[in-house]
C-alpha cells in the first residue's frame, strides 16, 4: 500500500482538501464525474483516476466528498467501486452529510472487507478546508483513528473526536447544520424585516454582528447577499437536504424540532422556486420576493 490519498468528488470542498494535502507533500489521486473538475485538479498536480476502483487501488485512504448516500453507495460499492480495489487496513474517510443509518450501513460493509470507516463529516466551507481550519467531526474506533491520525490532522487543525460509534459524526453534523439553517433563516428574515422598516440593511447587519443577534453563518451569508454575490460556495440544495435529514433523525428519536422544521420548509421552498443551484445566501432575496408577493 502506498501513501497516496484518493479523493472522490472534487467539488469546492474536495478540491480544497486536495490542495491542502498537496501542499503537505502528499500524493493525491482524484475522481469526479465532471471532467472539468478533474482537469482543474490535474492542473494543480493531482493524478486523475479513470474509475473509483482505479483510485482506490493501493490508496492508503480514500476520502469520499460526494453529496449524498446514493452517490456514496455508487462510488464505493457500485460497478468499479473503490471498495472492491482497496486493501485491508486502508480507510475510507466519509465526509458528506448523511443520515446516521446510511453511515452505519456503509461502515458495516467496509468493515466486512477489512477497511476502516472513519465517519468524518466536515463543516466550514472551502476557504477553511483549504487552510486546514474546517471542522472534522470524527467517529471511529480508536485504533482506526490512530492508524490514520496523520492524514486526519493534515486535513484539519479542528478535529473533534465525537465518539467511536459509526454514525455519531453524522448525528453531530446534522445537529450542527440544523442550527446553521435556523441561524441563516433567522438572519435573512431579520434583514428582510429591516428593509421593510426602512433601515439600511448593511448598517443593521453591522450592528447585529457586534450584538446578541450575531451568528457566523448569518454574517458570512448576509454580507454576500447584500453584495449580490450568489456564486455557489454552498448550494441551497445542500441545506435543504441536510435539514430534511436532521428532521427525519429527530422524528425517529421522538423529538419535535419546531424551529428546525420551519427552517427546513423554507429551504425546501427556495429550492422549489428554482434557487437550489444558487448559494444559500440567496435566502435573503427569496424572502424579499415572498414579502413583495404578500403585500
**Active site residue ranges:** 173
Spell 126-163 as b/e; 16+ CB within 10 A means b. Answer: bebbbebebbbbbbbbeebbebbeebbebbbeebeebb
Classified as helix, coil or strand, 160 is strand
Report the alpha-carbon distance of residue 171 to residue 131 in Å, rounded: 25
Classified as helix, coil or strand, 46 is coil
CA distances from 103 to 59, 86, 263, 266 (A): 21, 19, 24, 26
* CA 56 from centroid of its chain's CA atoms: 22
Tell me how crowded residue 99 is: count the other CB atoms within 10 A of its CB.
22
Report the alpha-carbon distance of residue 132 to residue 156 in Å, rounded: 4
CA distances from 157 to 20, 132, 194 (A): 12, 6, 38
Tell me how crowded residue 229 is: count the other CB atoms within 10 A of its CB.
12
Single out the residue of 16, 27, 77, 69 nearest to residue 52, CA to CA: 77
Spell 33-46 as b/e; 16+ CB within 10 A means b. Answer: eeeebbebbeeeeb
Which 8-state DSSP code applies to residue 272? Answer: I
Write down the number of H helices and E strands in the chain: 14, 9
Amino acid at each position: 500500500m502506498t501513501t497516496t490519498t484518493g479523493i472522490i468528488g472534487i467539488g469546492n470542498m474536495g478540491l480544497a482538501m486536495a490542495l491542502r494535502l498537496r501542499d503537505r507533500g502528499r500524493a493525491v489521486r482524484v475522481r469526479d464525474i465532471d471532467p472539468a473538475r478533474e482537469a482543474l485538479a490535474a492542473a494543480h498536480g493531482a493524478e486523475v483516476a479513470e474509475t473509483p476502483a482505479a483510485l482506490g487501488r493501493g490508496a492508503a485512504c480514500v476520502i469520499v466528498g460526494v453529496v449524498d448516500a446514493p452517490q456514496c453507495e455508487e462510488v464505493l460499492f457500485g460497478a468499479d467501486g473503490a471498495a472492491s480495489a482497496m486493501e485491508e487496513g486502508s480507510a475510507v474517510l466519509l465526509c458528506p452529510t448523511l443520515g446516521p443509518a446510511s453511515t452505519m450501513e456503509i461502515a458495516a460493509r467496509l468493515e466486512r472487507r477489512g477497511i476502516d470507516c472513519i465517519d468524518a463529516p466536515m463543516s466550514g466551507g472551502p476557504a477553511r478546508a483549504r487552510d486546514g481550519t474546517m471542522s472534522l467531526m470524527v467517529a471511529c474506533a480508536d485504533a482506526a483513528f490512530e492508524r490514520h491520525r496523520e492524514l486526519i490532522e493534515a486535513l484539519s487543525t479542528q478535529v473533534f473526536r465525537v465518539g467511536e460509534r459509526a454514525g455519531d459524526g453524522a448525528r453531530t453534523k446534522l445537529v450542527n447544520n440544523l442550527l446553521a439553517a435556523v441561524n441563516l433563516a433567522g438572519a435573512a428574515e431579520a434583514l428582510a424585516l429591516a428593509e421593510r422598516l426602512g433601515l439600511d440593511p448593511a448598517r443593521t447587519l453591522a450592528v447585529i454582528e457586534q450584538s446578541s443577534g450575531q451568528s457566523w453563518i448569518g454574517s458570512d451569508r448576509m454580507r454576500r447577499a447584500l453584495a449580490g454575490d450568489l456564486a455557489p460556495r454552498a448550494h441551497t440544495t445542500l441545506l435543504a437536504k441536510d435539514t430534511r435529514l436532521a428532521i427525519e433523525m429527530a422524528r425517529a428519536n421522538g423529538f419535535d424540532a419546531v424551529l428546525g422544521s420551519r427552517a427546513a420548509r423554507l429551504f425546501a421552498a427556495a429550492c422549489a422556486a428554482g434557487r437550489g443551484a444558487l448559494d444559500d445566501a440567496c435566502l435573503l432575496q427569496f424572502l424579499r420576493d415572498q414579502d413583495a408577493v404578500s403585500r
